[in-house]
């Protein structure tokens, strides 16, 4: 009968295999410590990185200080463009000299300058551009004024009221009278009436829209047209069709607030 036994040699062999594996692991750790960065090296790397950041921050700050120094790159030339009748060069210069003044090419804020110029009453739109190395170019578009509103303010073609010297406006401007909430309505009526009347050689002097939306038109020949609240355009056409048979020099007003026909008020006569 054969009996299997475990000899000491077998146990020695197993222990020997385990011992070799542990040595290999220790050797790998030793190599990693030998070739990996030391604490001193890592510290020097972080210090160098920090110094690079400090250097570039200082360089950026110095460059910014240099570029925004008014004595280094001053704005010394100005070009003003655009057809102008009411906005003078002195008006623009006065705006540019307001605080903060324009000193340096890089520090000038064109959006801020544009807003300041557009705050001038007669300026409808402004465009501001910088040109290297010292030129500021300003383009001006004046208000497209179309009427005098309530004798005190001016009205542009967009129906926007602006404050400017009414005495500077052309004498040919129509005068519109209306409540505050009927400004655009009055302008629309003026454009409709004016197109029709100009085709027949008539010019409007004033248009009044009252609180009840009743409309009165005064022509430059002195005749007042009372149009009422409805069918104003067709009533003007009625005036054009029939006024030729009347003596316009003697007419004070024509009341067209009828479905058909009209009544006439004569100068120096209280009777119609």
CATH of 145-266, one of 3.40.50.1010, 3.40.50.11690, 3.40.1390.10, 3.40.50.150: 3.40.50.11690
Binning pLDDT at 50, 70 and 90, where does residue 255 land?
A: very high
Backbone angles phi, psi at 198, to 5 degrees: -65, -35
The residues near 155 (Cβ < 8 Å, ≥ 6 apart) are: 145, 146, 147, 148, 149, 161, 162, 176, 183, 187
Q: Domain segments of the chain: what residues?
A: 8-60, 77-142, 145-266
Q: Which of 156, 155, 172, 154 is nearest to 164 (CA)?
A: 154
pLDDT tens track for 31-62: 555 555 667 777 777 767 777 787 666 665 55
Range scoring the smallest mean pLDDT among 129-143, 148-162, 201-215: 129-143
User: What is this structure's pTM?
Assistant: 0.69
Superfamily grouping for domain 77-142: membrane protein fhac (3.10.20.310)
- pLDDT tens figures, 60-104: 555 555 444 445 557 778 899 999 999 999 999 998 888 666 677
**Where does the pLDDT of residue 115 fall: very low under 50, low under 70, confident under 90, or very high at 90 and above?**
very high
Q: Evaluate whether 77-142 and 145-266 have a shared fold.
A: no
pLDDT digits (tens, 9 = 90+) for 177-235: 999 999 999 999 999 999 999 999 999 999 999 999 999 999 999 999 999 999 999 99
């Amino acid at each position: 009968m054969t009996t299997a036994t475990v000899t000491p040699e077998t146990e020695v062999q197993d222990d020997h295999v385990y011992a070799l594996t542990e040595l290999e692991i220790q050797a790998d750790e030793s190599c990693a410590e030998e070739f990996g960065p030391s604490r001193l090296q890592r510290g020097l790397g972080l210090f160098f990185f920090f110094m690079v950041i400090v250097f570039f921050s200082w360089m950026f700050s110095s460059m910014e200080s240099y570029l925004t120094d008014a004595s280094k790159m001053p704005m010394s030339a100005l070009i003003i463009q655009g057809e102008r009748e009411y906005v003078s060069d002195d008006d623009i210069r006065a705006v540019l000299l307001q605080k903060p003044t324009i000193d340096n090419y890089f520090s000038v804020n064109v959006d801020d300058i544009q807003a300041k110029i557009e705050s001038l009453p007669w300026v409808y739109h402004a465009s501001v551009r910088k040109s290297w190395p010292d030129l500021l170019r300003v383009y001006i578009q004046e208000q497209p004024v179309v009427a005098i509103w309530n004798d005190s303010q001016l009205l542009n073609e967009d129906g926007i009221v602006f404050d400017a010297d009414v005495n500077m406006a052309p004498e040919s401007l129509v005068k519109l009278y209306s409540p505050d909430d009927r400004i655009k309505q009055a302008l629309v009526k003026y454009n409709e009436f004016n197109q029709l009347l100009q085709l027949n050689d008539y010019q409007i002097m004033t248009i009044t829209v009252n609180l009840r939306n009743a409309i009165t038109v005064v022509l430059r020949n002195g005749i007042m047209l009372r149009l009422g609240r409805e069918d104003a355009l067709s009533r003007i056409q009625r005036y054009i069709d029939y006024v030729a048979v009347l003596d316009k020099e003697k007419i004070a007003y024509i009341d067209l607030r009828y479905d058909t026909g009209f009544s006439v008020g004569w100068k120096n006569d209280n009777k119609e």
